[in-house]
Amino acid sequence: MDLFLLEKALLGLFIAMITAITVSKLRGKRFKLPPGPLPVPIFGNWLQVGDDLNHRNLADFAKKFGEVLLLRMGQRNLVVVSSPDLAKDVLHTQGVEFGSRTRNVVFDIFTGKGQDMVFTVYGEHWRKMRRIMTVPFFTNKVVQQYRYGWEDEAARVVEDVKKNPEAATGGIVLRKRLQLMMYNNMYRIMFDRRFENEEDPLFVKLKALNGERSRLAQSFDYNYGDFIPILRPLLRGYLKICKEVKERRFQLFKDFFVEERKKLASTTGVTNNGLKCAIDHIMEAEQKGEINEDNVLYIVENINVAAIETTLWSIEWGIAELVNHPEIQKKLRNEIDTVLGPGVQVTEPDTHKLPYLQAVIKETLRLRMAIPLLVPHMNINDAKLGGFDIPAESKVLVNAWWLANNPAHWKNPEEFRPERFLEEESKVEANGNDFRYLPFGVGRRSCPGIILALPILGITIGRLVQNFELLPPPGQAKLDTTEKGGQFSLHILKHSTIVANPKIV
């Protein structure tokens, strides 16, 4: 950092300190704020709390400060909600008041300051984007149209694993093949395209760029510049990399997928009687002037991030838990063989006839929630919550993981026990009918991808369990299920090597 920039930063810090003290005193007179640790000028609670605002750390704060608490992260207010009743208030009762999304300096780059659907503020643009995305992605008709493709992709995974001699001996990193499967599942819907194998050059490039985007967005490394705007100049290099990654991704989306589909449509024609993929519907909306070309690319961005990786994380968690609980794996295999018959492969309609499979999926989503804090909410205007004042533009986190793992509400929540969803919690569903269990959120800003994720999870886990005995690698009693969190994600730290012994029918 040059001397001029250092002087400027120090001067800014001094001004910010005076401003923070003044604003803090003024706000203290006007607001009855939620409890929380005592903040210090400029930094708020950042130095006490640190960057890692993961679900477990926030649950510990809730135990100390209560069901709604306030953390001042630099100049940002962070409100954490940790009870079913308050979650209902934020997501349902006051769904409009808390229906917007807060972003940060990195997400502003990747979403074009809210030109997408997932991270835009609540309003007309969100309603329009949600409507345009619903028909081609989030209906039962889409499930029935594409479930054959999902079944085909799962069958190809089984075939490839059986062909790999390492799978039954030393083991393989199954996630790599499942990642290709998930890309194909979603790219079939989006573009009627699939990648033939893991070495496909376009798949390799796409996977690398999406991975870099996720790493940059989910990292805690840029928090200091987001929490304290005067330090933002120090993020120039980081933000430059983010912009470069975004531009390269969007160029790839445009050149190899969107434009290719346009060319195909212009030469062969796509009629209402023909099979339309999602991008056809979205380009029609563009042609009608409802959205622009950038919005089209941001829709592709949302699906690449919100649909592919999150479902993959859940599949990976489910497999890891079944490997570490062989008795549950055996019970699930017995159910499939008994209900369907030995060797009869699981299809999407079959998943509804397999209650223990459904319970395994529910339990995976409870204990290992892919988005444990949901996507952050925001109130544009001053609001009330739990008897406290919530200042405008506060970042509101619902700790959905703690709602589903609080021993006050669940029996032995630290145990992976699918039976709970057939016994004491038999009426609880993943769609948000119980505010203790919100893996996809609920209300206006809930995740519409639930309609795709649940059948894909059922088909994939069902096929793997019925075709293989899944084991830890030689010399290892269990898989390492250490968690790796991000800004609001949760995945397994180490992608495990898994032995897959083919079952003889």
Average of per-residue pLDDT across 226-243: 94
* pLDDT in the model for residue 8: 47
Beta bridge partners of 69: 80
DSSP 77-89: EEEEE-SHHHHHI
143 by Cβ neighbours in 10 Å (0-12 / 13-18 / 19+) ranks as middle
Whether 246 has a pLDDT exceeding 90, the answer reads: yes
Whether 273 has a pLDDT exceeding 70, the answer reads: no
Between the two ends of the chain, the Cα-to-Cα distance in Å is 67
Q: How many CB atoms lie within 10 A of CB 30?
A: 10
488/374 Cα distance (integer angstroms): 7
Residue spans per domain, the chain: 31-502
Question: DSSP strand E in 199-355: where?
Answer: none
User: What is residue 44's three-state secondary structure?
Assistant: strand
Structure tokens at 143: 């499930």
Whether 268 has a pLDDT exceeding 90, the answer reads: no
Phi/psi for 293 (5° steps) reads -60, -40
* pLDDT in the model for residue 13: 52
* pLDDT in the model for residue 270: 52
**Nearest Cα residue to 406 out of 26, 87, 12:** 87
Q: Considering the chain, what is the average pLDDT of its residues?
A: 92
359: part of which helix (H) or strand (E)?
Answer: helix 355-367
Dmax over CA atoms of the chain, in Å, equals 75
Global pTM reads 0.92
Q: How many CB atoms lie within 10 A of CB 422?
A: 13
107/217 Cα distance (integer angstroms): 7
Q: pLDDT for 449-470, tens place per residue?
A: 999 999 999 999 999 999 999 9
Helices and strands in the chain: count of H runs, count of E runs: 20, 11
CA torsion, ordered 324, 330, 335, 341, to nearest 10 deg = 130
User: What is residue 247's three-state secondary structure?
Assistant: helix
| Tokens 């991000």, residue located | 486
84/57 Cα distance (integer angstroms): 18
∠ CA 493-496-500, nearest 5°, is 160
Q: Is 277 annotated as a binding residue?
A: no
Q: Which CATH architecture has domain 31-502?
A: Orthogonal Bundle (1.10)
Decide: 324 and 481 in contact? Cβ < 8 Å: yes
Q: Any idea which of 77-91, 204-218, 219-233, 247-261 has the lowest mean pLDDT? A: 219-233
